[in-house]
Amino acid sequence: MRNRRSARIAIGLLLALALGNTPAAAAAVGVGDAAPELVGLDGWIGAAPQSIAGLRGRVVIVNFWTFACHNCRNTLPHVTEWQRRFGARGLSILGIHTPELASERPREAVEAAVRQHGIEYAVALDPEFAAWIERLLAEPAE
């Protein structure tokens, strides 16, 4: 099942790039432009739904991660420390959980990982890779 879904995502990305069909929200973003909104999310953990527009004027880190990824787990202590140290000074971190494995898809599993890693910032669920693909296809303005 995972291989079929991964193949569909890869084919979709390749077609979109080859045909120049990027999603509307992934239009080129330049310095000073508003960041595109997050799309396709399936709920939030630890906060009410967030929006990029609602965070205007703040420094925002959008951290795509998955709890079974070794590299992702290695970054979490640093990201959670940044939130602790700089959150009151205007830093907002949005964790976007984009699962790689079927075992990472259930909300309860993500909630357990959030507790285990002491994550206190908002975490969105992106089980269909919608927000991840949107960001991947966004190309910076030249």
CATH at 26: 3.40.30.10
- Give the domain extent around 85: 2-137
Instruction: Say if residues 52 and 36 touch (Cβ distance below 8 Å).
Output: yes
Q: What region does 46 belong to: left with phi over 0, alpha with psi -120 to 50, or beta?
A: left
| Banded pLDDT at 12 (limits 50, 70, 90) | very low
Structure tokens at 102: 């079927």
Whole-number pLDDT of residue 15: 40
- Answer yes or no: is 119 within a domain: yes
Q: Within a domain: residue 81? A: yes
86 within some domain: yes
For residue 128, the 8-state DSSP code is: T
Identify whether 142 is part of a domain: no
8 versus 104: the higher-pLDDT residue is 104
pTM, whole model, 2 decimals?
0.74
pLDDT band at 71 (very low <50, low <70, confident <90, very high): very high
User: Is 40 a member of any domain?
Assistant: yes
Percent of the chain topping pLDDT 70:
73
User: What confidence score (pLDDT) does residue 34 get?
Assistant: 73
- Within a domain: 64: yes
Would the pLDDT of 92 be above 90? yes
Task: Please give the Cα distance from 99 to 64 (Å, whole number).
Answer: 10
**pLDDT greater at residue 63 or residue 26:** 63
Please state the domain count of the chain: 1
CA 42 – CA 44 distance, rounded (Å)? 7
30, two tokens: 């330049």
Residue 20 scores a pLDDT above 50: no
